[in-house]
């Protein structure tokens, strides 16, 4: 039976009507990227939906929420440059393949850097695998050096990764995901963002 994907309160209600066509265009780009990877499917859309709601719950301004919605859709755009043999490998990656896959963050930054109509999207692409304790990649930045927009996208990305089936494992259960965000608060994740994720899951506003 096909796994039912996590459900979350409607992020589209947060996006203004004036920007609807613009966001639909960005969603088309991310859908094209997702089509290259059968194991993640609608990953970019789900990450964007979750990140948008997290931003709203954390009290960010409307313009910041709009930027997060876009940046989250495009956070994995650097995977366009990853060879199919690595991107679609039906088993765990070797160490060398994993190092190549990690470069999607740098490639994503290069693709999006300097685009005035996509503010901060390059940061989402570059830093979404950084950790609050500095043990992430590609640059090992930590704490306050990680932009707020990235702290939210990175939590949404991790949540979707844990709650989705992968070729090498089944999705993680609800209690495990909650425990990972509780343990990772202040280390892997920004503590405030992790707390909101846990609250949304426990309240049933994210259904795993």
Please report which helix (H) or strand (E) contains residue 157, including its range.
Answer: helix 148-163
Q: Is the pLDDT of residue 40 over 70?
A: no
The Cα 74–Cα 135 span in angstroms is 23
pTM of the shown model: 0.85
Per-residue pLDDT of 106-141, as tens digits, reads 999 999 998 877 778 999 999 999 999 999 999 999
As a whole number of angstroms, the distance between CA 192 and CA 208 comes to 21
Average pLDDT, stretch 185-192?
A: 98
How does pLDDT run across 143-176, given as a tens digit for each residue? Answer: 999 999 999 999 999 999 998 866 556 778 899 9
Nearest to 12 by CA among 43, 76, 58, 56: 56
Non-local (6+) Cβ contacts of 29 within 8 A are 73, 74, 77
Q: Report which of residues 190 and 9 the model is more confident about.
A: 190
Beta bridge pairs of residue 7? 207
Comparing CA positions, the residue from 81, 51, 63, 14 lying closest to residue 153 is 51
CA atoms in the 13 A half-sphere facing the CB of 182: 11
């Amino acid at each position: 039976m096909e796994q039912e994907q996590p459900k979350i309160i409607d992020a589209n209600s947060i996006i203004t009507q004036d920007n609807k066509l613009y966001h639909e265009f960005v969603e088309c780009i991310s859908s094209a990227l997702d089509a290259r990877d059968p194991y993640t499917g609608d990953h970019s859309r789900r990450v964007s939906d979750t990140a948008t709601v997290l931003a709203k719950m954390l009290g960010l301004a409307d313009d910041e929420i709009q930027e997060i919605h876009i940046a989250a859709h495009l956070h994995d755009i650097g995977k366009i440059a990853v060879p199919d043999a690595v991107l679609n490998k039906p088993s765990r990656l070797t160490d060398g393949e994993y190092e190549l896959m990690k470069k999607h963050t740098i490639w994503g930054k290069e693709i999006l850097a300097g685009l005035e109509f996509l503010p901060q999207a390059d940061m989402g692409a570059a830093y979404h695998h950084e950790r609050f304790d500095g043990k992430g990649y590609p640059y090992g930045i930590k704490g306050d050096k990680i932009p707020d927009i990235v702290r939210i996208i990175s939590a949404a990305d991790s949540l979707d990764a844990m709650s989705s089936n992968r070729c090498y494992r089944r999705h993680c259960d609800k209690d495990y995901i909650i425990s990972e965000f509780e343990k990772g608060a202040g280390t892997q994740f920004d503590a405030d963002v992790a707390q909101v994720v846990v609250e949304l899951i426990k309240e049933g506003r994210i259904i795993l």
